[in-house]
Amino acid sequence: MRKPPDPDKKRAYWRKWYYAHREQICAAKRIREKAYWAKRPEELLWRNARARAKLHGLPFNLEITDIVIPEVCQVLGIKLQQGEKKFGPASPSLDREVPELGYVRGNVLVISWRANELKSNATPAELMAIATWVNRRRLS
């Protein structure tokens, strides 16, 4: 009668095999994940917002269906599209109109990452000063 394989030897064999092929395995996993999220941008925005809300102790009551990605950013007027790698200026981004209220229905909208970055920490007065300065520079 044949002796069953030793589980420790089997585990050692597969561990050695995994470490020899780890780079290929991880690369394939990244490709699969990228393809998965490219098909589900609303879910990705929802999932990241939920994680940020939990991290910062903000209210969160959004459903995936509450997130609607428009064709064009309503702030900058650029076409929204996923970035090639992580994200780009035209990538969709979830914006809280009143940051203190958190990620709740009626307080979020999807704009471009660039627009969200521009308004992330500037006051309306600072944004107006920048706009005035840019207009003056272009007219002179």
- Nearest 5°: the CA angle 74, 79, 81 is 115
Reading the block at residue 61, the tokens are: 């009551």
Strand pairing partners for 60?
103
Instruction: Supply the DSSP string of 57-107, one letter for each residue.
Output: T--B---GGG----SB-TTT-PBP---SSS--TTSEEEEESSGGG-B-TTS
What local confidence, expressed as pLDDT, does residue 128 receive? 87
**pLDDT at residue number 136:** 84
- Look at residue 76 in the predicted model and tell me its pLDDT: 86
Residue 115: what pLDDT? 87
| Contact criterion met (CB below 8 Å) for 112 and 80 | yes
In the chain, which stretches have pLDDT less than 70?
83-85, 140
Q: Tell me the pLDDT tens digit for each residue of 73-86.
A: 888 888 998 766 67
pLDDT given at position 104:
94
Cβ neighbors of 108 (< 8 A, separation 6 or more) are 49, 62, 66, 67, 94, 95, 96, 97
Average pLDDT, the chain: 88
State percent of the chain over pLDDT 90. Answer: 46
Is the pTM value of this prediction over 0.85?
Answer: no
Full set of structural domains in the chain with CATH:
40-139 (3.30.40.220)
